[in-house]
Amino acid sequence: MRTRNRYGAALVLRRPSIWFITVLGTVVLTIYFLIVGQGTREAFEKRKGRLANVVSAPVSSDDVSEMTDVDLTGTTGLTVKARVRVPRTKAPPFAGVLIFGGWERGRTVINFPGLEKFFDRGLLMSMDYPLERTRRFGFRDIPRVRKAAFDAVASILLMVDYLETRPDVDPRRTVLIGVSFGSPFAVIAGGLDERVKAVASLYGGGELGQTFAHLIKREKPFRDAFWGPAAAALLGRAGALLLAPLEPDRYVGMISPRPVLFINGKEDELVPVRSAESLYLKAGEPRTMIWLKSTHIRRTEDQLLREMSLDAVRWLTAQGIL
């Protein structure tokens, strides 16, 4: 193909250039769809496998409940270190309440003050996330972090398998509660697994790219440099692309017609209001949003934990689960 420039000279648009663009575009799209394809129900089921072994060890007991640590192993080699808290003041069968909190809290989240409203209403279970934080993360850790995020979702699905083996749990009353860091995992697993009858997202949100950019922009040197916002936005988008199969906005609509609850803080400095609203708006009915006048939830805020727990208990009771 020929055309002419302003001086009348002939220019040649070479076919190799067109082919290069076509091939490059195809490669980019293929990589994108391969990444997104990792987020299918079939892909997570394959990652989970089947429950192959359970090892239990008692932890403690009091007048209200008794706690046991359990190690779950799947046929794929997936391992889950979890803690179970069983009521002593109520007769089985219990509702199965899987709670996921902050990254560093892991299975100890079910020991937190403020959750007393749950202790005599259902069997509580939580897990350690499949990633140890032993040092500051760098770019070399990205593959490890990404794998751990996928394993976290598969681990929740394996925990649901485990609850089905317990005669003291009513399989018709399984609920996932994700708090802060745990919110995306609860939403994703709830969307994938129809055995889950209700999902609660507490102080979580969607739009991972926007959320990542917001968090990056708060850190040095981004918050002090004129280029900080642009660089944070770019890195946030890159992180969201890398974790595209784990974007909670993709899964929250799959929970419907099962109920989903959202509790968020109006003054949350870590999860932007826009992110919280995005997740809520993409959910199907029935859905409930509760806004609390608070900043982001923290382990030391017992009163806020109690208020949040009471709202969640009331909602779950209204759904016939607790």
Most confidently modeled range among 32-36, 37-41, 210-214: 210-214
Determine the pLDDT at residue 6.
47
Cα gap 176→197, rounded to integer Å: 8
Over residues 80-122, the pLDDT tens digits come to 999 999 999 889 999 999 999 987 788 999 887 777 778 778 9
pLDDT band at 163 (very low <50, low <70, confident <90, very high): very high
Determine the pLDDT at residue 228.
82
Share of the chain above pLDDT 90, in %: 56
Kindly report the pTM of this predicted structure: 0.86
pLDDT value at 9 more than 70:
no
The mean pLDDT of 189-213, rounded to a whole number, is 94
Determine the pLDDT at residue 169.
97
Cα gap 64→43, rounded to integer Å: 40
Determine the pLDDT at residue 247.
94
Q: What is the mean pLDDT of the chain?
A: 86
Determine the pLDDT at residue 128.
95
Determine the pLDDT at residue 8.
46
Q: Which two tokens stand for residue 220?
A: 């040095």
The mean pLDDT of 41-56, rounded to a whole number, is 95
Could you write out the DSSP letters of every residue in 223-283? Answer: TTSTTHHHHHHHHHHHHHHHTGGG-GGGTGGGGTTS-EEEEEETT-SSS-HHHHHHHHHHS
Q: For residue 292, what is the enclosing H or E element?
A: strand 287-292
Cα gap 93→33, rounded to integer Å: 43
pLDDT value at 23 more than 50:
yes
